Every structure is written in C-alpha cells, then in structure tokens.
Structure 1
C-alpha cells in the first residue's frame, strides 16, 4: 500500500510540473518589435508597425499559427539607435518574446546585435546595410536588399547611359555610412569615378553648401545620394533650388510615395532601385510577384486609405518568413526557428524571392531590384 501511494504521489507531482509547460505551449506566440515609428525615419517605421498589426490580426482571425495566437509587443526607438538596445533587452528579459522583427535603421539593428547574439534569439532586421548580415551572425537575418546591391543597380543604369564621373552625397547615419563605403567599393567595377564625395547629417534642414561644392566639380555627370528618411528629400529640394541639372539618383532608402510627397515637384526625374511594390499595377501579368504585391497594396489601402511602402513590405516579408519558420520548426524553440529560417528556399516576398543559407542570411539577388523613375508625380518602371 505504501509503495502504491508513493507511486501515485509521484504521478501527481509530475502532472503538476507538466501543467505550466502544457499551458505555455498553448499560449500566444510573442513577436517583439523595435521600430522607428517617429523621428526622421518615422515614415519608414510607421508603415512597418501598421503592416505587422494588420497581418497579425488577419493571421489570428484565420486561427493563428499551429493553433496559437500571435501577440505583438512593440516599442518606438524614435529614430535614435541608442534606444534600441534597451528596448530589445526589455523584450527579451521582461516580455519574454519568442523572436524579434526589429531595426528600422541599420544603427538600431547593430545596437541590438550583440545582445541578440548573446541571448540566442532570432532577429529579422528591416534595415538596409550589408553590415547587418556580413559577416554572417548566427541569430540575425534581414529582408531588405543591401546597400551594396543598391549601388550596383544604380551603377548598372549609369553605365548604360554613359555616366562615368559621378558625385556621391551620403548621410552620416549607419545606413548612409555603410552605403558610401559600398558605393566606393563597387564603383571601379562599373567604370565609375567618384569625382566628389560629400556628407550630410540625418537631421540637416539645408544641404546647399555640399551641393554647391559638388556642382562646381568639373566634368561631373550625375549625383548619387545615399540616405534614408527625410534627409534625401531635403537634398532633392535643395538641388532643385540651386538649379542643378545633374541626373539625380537615390538609394532604396527612400523607395516610398512619402519621398515624393516630401520632395514635391523637385522629385521629378529622380531614379532609384526599388522592390516591385511601388509599381505593382505596372508589372506584367505573368510576373511571379504581382499577385502578392497587388494583394498587399489592396489590403493596406483598405485598412489605412494610403498607399503601402516598400518599408512596410519588408515587415510583411519578415512576418511571413517568421510564420513559415515556426511552422517548419513545429513550435517556438529558438534554435529550431533559427535553423528553419536559415534553410528557407524559394520563398516569394514583396521584396523578391528569398533563398537563405548558412552563408547568406538575406537570400536576395540583384534581380529582385527594379529601377524606377519619378514621372508626373508617380513611380514608373525605368526602361
């Protein structure tokens, strides 16, 4: 009798200990986000948050993931990279999130990187610089094209048009600095000589001094601006005010209708590399991205009565990659989700087709970029 009682008691204790685990496995999947929804990069981060909120609600309405609801816990770093690390620590230690979709800007992502690597939690970044994924970091992935790819795509177009002497004007943000470095690195490959190389601050309200210096360079044929948020719009308006007739190229850091709104008529003729989203309706009927980008555009418009941006598309891709990885992993075990992300193949997103690997935590190639131009106040595919 005593032996049977002890066995029964042990069974009760084991059941009691298992209850929290079972309850936890049926609890929500917690996704943490640190985004720049205000400040100079606000027009990048705002559509990212709206996209995550819209699609999380849609996924939950359809039954969630593996029978579990998704829960979003988010913080605004106000476009200040220094705040990102503290918010990431809060998400990991206090909010107990299962994974992170975080880092509107490169600076924010890199501020979080050491903490994320130490904690061992998957992070999908929404920032553009190549430094996010090169060298490869075990726990960090990204959805936007890199700054190096942007420079290569721009130089492809310049080479086609016979531009060989180019001015570079880059932002002193993390994205701008990395972009300038990559631009300098790949210029020679395309037969481009950078005859001017100037910088501006992300919060500068006037850049005419730098532009006047660039304009005075003998033989200059085009200007390439590398920045994000509001700064490039200031540059574009200042260039028009100075009467600069140089062809003006921007990076994918301003691939948004908001850039045109901020720059106004001065944006006319600006060229840049962009994901397909900005010209969704102009894509060929057989384009493999058309169904996805047109669906996203319609969903975003219905919810917010506004055009979607490529930055929101980066968030959508990050969310769907996360959902796919969780399903593949069969749960939220961080190592299993990380491994599933790294093995993703043939995943079609708004940004392009993702094929990730041990050596590539982005998984996009140059064909995922489209060259666009502002014409009559809107984006058109550049021929």
Structure 2
C-alpha cells in the first residue's frame, strides 16, 4: 500500500510551482491615449502599436489598462487619477499631447507613479530634478534635437530668412523657443504667426507670413491640423521650401495634405523611414524589425513616428521592469513604483525604433543625434531625405 506521506510529498511538489506562479503579482501599466478629438490621428497610431505589445514585461505577466482622453486635458487628469487610485498601475504610458502630460504631473508626484509620456515638449521632463518631473520620462525626441536638424538642413541650403507659423499652445511655444535658439545669428525669423488646432482658416496668418518674403516657412504643428497652413500657402501661390516638425508623422496628415504637402521637409525618428536607412545606421535593425511587425498588421508604409514611440515605450518598460524586479519589490506596491522609476532613470544603450536611449538623473528623455534623420514627403509617403 502506498505510503500516504509520500503521496502528500509528491502532491506538494506538483502544486508548489503553481502556488509560486500565482503568488507573483502581474505588472499593470496604464495607457492614456488621445484616440478621439483633435489629436486622434496621433492617438490611433499609438493605439495600434500598444495592441502589439507582448503580454509580459521583464519576463512577468503584464496587463494594460487603456483609456481615451479625447484630447481633453481635464479628462486626461481624470484618467490619471483612475489609473493610479482604482487600477493601481505601476506606471503610465502617455498622454499624446504636452498640455495633458503637464497637467498630470501633480498626480504622478502625489502617487509616486512613473510616466513615459508620448508628447514631445521638453518641458514635460525638464528640469529633471523638479519634484514633479522626477517621475516623468518621455519617448519623443526633444524639440531642441529636432530643431537643430532643421537648422542644419536650412544652412546647407543657404536659407537666411524664415517665417514661423505655429500652434498657439505649448507645442508651438516650445518650437518657437527651440528654433530661435538653434537658428542663432545665422537664420533670421522674419515673421511669427500662431493658430489654434481647431481653426478652420489661417488665411490671415499665411498672408502675413508671405508678406515678410521669407526664404522658407516653418510650420510648427502636429497631426492633421498642421496641414491647414501648408494647404493655404500653396493655395495663395507660395513657391518656397516648407518645413514641418516631426509632429506631422501621421497617415492622416498625408491624406489631408495630398499633393499640397509633396516635398515637405521634416525631421523624424529613424523608425519612420527604417528600410531606407543606410546599413551603418545603429538603429536600423531594430527599426526594421518593428516595421515588419507593425506593417504585417496595418499594411505597407503605415508606420509612423508615434507608433515607433509607443512601441519604444514598451521596450523601455520591459528593460526597466526586469531590473526593478531583481530588487525584490512586488508590482502593485509603492516600493515597486519607486524602484521602477530608478530603473527607468538608469537605462543605458537601449536601442528602440526611434533611437538609442541613455537616460540619467539630468536627462529623462535620453536620445542623441542617432534619434533623428531628415525626411521628405515623396509620392504621398514619408521618405528618407538624408
């Protein structure tokens, strides 16, 4: 007759791994996206990439709570509060616009929750030692990095005078400041005009910009609203070079702009033009791998800057969560959020679709010149310029 003690020992051996697995808390990540509203074109690309995130982080099960903020700042803050208080998330990815990211900083500080923003302006993370911004990180390149790429291209082309037409918000403010700083004494800004994301006409701004007789015009906007000034410029007969920012990187911008945006010059993350990059580019292999994954789901030439940023956020979290778990802290606790923040801040040489990340106590973005190339709109799609 079998010994009952041996049977119990065998049963315990069988159950122990299951108990160990079930006791491991899952990593929960909140995602705030502008899937509707004026920034919906950006949010949709973000959402597409988030849907491709693997079901693990750092080798452990992960759960993603995805909310739409409707491109509304107050709604974004409500989402932050729900994610932190009800869902007990370990980190937040998003939002897509700068104003919402800035408005959420108080929630991050109050709850000790790290954020990886998908909005561009450096004010989200600078200064990094600010008590609120201590918890804030972001994926998109700083405007200063992209502005210097534009200025380098303008200098190469002999452009001396530029008219500026930008959003009348924090995005436009950041670009106005960074472009002027990069331009220095070499390039003179001969006109500054602003417009709202929801404006139906920018005729007045365009006529004033053209009246200044610039060598080129820079439009500092994002998503489909950035197409309106350019279409108006072409309608009024402007023939000079038109530059845009990396914020235009949506398929909807190409559709809305049509033939009027052909030839547009813009800085972009290398992931957007992955297959056209020279083989020497350090990001190419990772960028092409993501392009293959994304376009298998959404079709050829469907990859954008925003999709690359969103997938890069998962890669950053995967690396940081793996290191945070080694401390012994458990997901779902304040201790884990704190060590996860520290792990994000010590990320080194991590290659993501849009660059190479080296994050530090003084730099919560982490990209350098390897995170930018010049692009051009050619034959209705985003292409590699140089």
Alignment check: 8 A CA contact 2:356 2:370 kept: no
Answer yes or no: is 1:164 the counterpart of 2:160.
yes
Given candidates 143, 146, 149, the residue that maps to 1:150 is: 146
- Unpaired runs of at least 5, structure 1: 1-20
Check if 1:248 corresponds to 2:246: no
Question: Contact 1:313–1:351 (CA<8 Å) still a contact in 2?
Answer: yes
Alpha-carbon distance between aligned partners in 1 of 2:58 and 2:246, rounded to the nearest angstrom: 35
CA shift, 1:24, in A, is 8.0
Match for residue 383 of structure 2?
Answer: 380
Task: Give the match's secondary structure for 1:279.
Answer: helix
Deviation at 1:256, TM superposition (A): 3.2
**1:84 — aligned with what?**
76
Structure 2 residue 267 is matched with structure 1 residue 292:
no
Quote the Cα distance in structure 1 between the aligned partners of 2:22 and 2:74: 33
Counterpart for residue 363 of structure 2? 360
Distance 1:309 1:271 in 2: 15
Relative to structure 1, is the Cα distance of residues 382 and 66 closer, same or farther in structure 2, using a 3 angstrom cutoff? closer
Q: Quickly say closer, same or farther: Cα 1:135–1:24, change in 2 above 3 A.
A: farther
On the 8 A contact 2:137/2:365 being kept in 1, the answer is yes
Correspondences of 1:5-44 after superposition (within 5 Å)? 26-44=24-42
Matches within 5 A, 1:302-381: 302-305=296-299, 307-330=302-325, 332=331, 333-381=336-384
The equivalent of 2:174 in structure 1 is 178
Paired positions, count: 355
Q: Deviations over 1:156-194 (max 9, x none)?
A: 1111111111101110132122222222333215x1111
Is 1:100 aligned to residue 75 of structure 2?
no
Per-residue CA shift, 1:194-221, capped at 9, x if unaligned?
Answer: 1000000001122121101111114x11
* Distance across 1 between alignment mates of 2:42 and 2:339: 30
Give how far 1:147 is off. 1.5
Query: What is the TM-score when the length of structure 1 is the normalising length?
Result: 0.88
CA pair 187-287 structure 1, distance change in 2 beyond 3 A:
closer
Q: 2 CA distance for matches of 1:130 and 1:67?
A: 31
**Following TM superposition, by how much is the alpha carbon of 1:32 offset from its aligned partner in structure 2, in angstroms?**
0.1
Q: Could you list the runs of 5+ residues in structure 2 that have no partner in the other structure?
A: 1-18
In 2, the alpha carbon distance for the partners of 1:293 and 1:205 equals 36
Match of 1:15 in 2: none
- Within 5 Å, give how 1:44-59 maps onto structure 2: 44-55=42-53, 59=54
Aligned: 1:187 with 2:183: yes
> For residues 67 and 221 of structure 1, do their structure 2 counterparts lie closer, same or farther at Cα, with a shift above 3 Å needed?
closer
**Structure 1 counterpart of 2:114:** 122
Whether the 8 Å contact between 2:45 and 2:250 is mirrored in structure 1 is no
**Deviation (angstroms), 1:374:** 1.4
Find the aligned partners of 1:297 and 1:92 in 2 and give their Cα distance.
32
Spell out, residue by residue over 1:336-364, the C-alpha distance to the aligned partner (whole angstroms, 9 max, x if none).
11111111110001110001111000111
Q: CA deviation at 1:304?
A: 2.9
Give the TM-score, by structure 2 length: 0.88
Q: Which residue of 1 aligns with 2:256?
A: 262
The whole-number CA distance in structure 1 between the counterparts of 2:345 and 2:142 is 18
Between 1:173-182 and 1:143-152, the stretch displaced more is 173-182
Who is 1:140 aligned against? 136
CA RMSD of aligned residues (A): 1.8
Distance apart, 1:223 and its partner CA: 0.4
Q: Distance in 2 between matches of 1:229 and 1:39?
A: 11
Residues 280 and 290 of structure 1 are in contact (CA less than 8 Å); yes or no, is this contact kept in structure 2? Answer: yes
Moved more, 306-315 or 105-114: 306-315
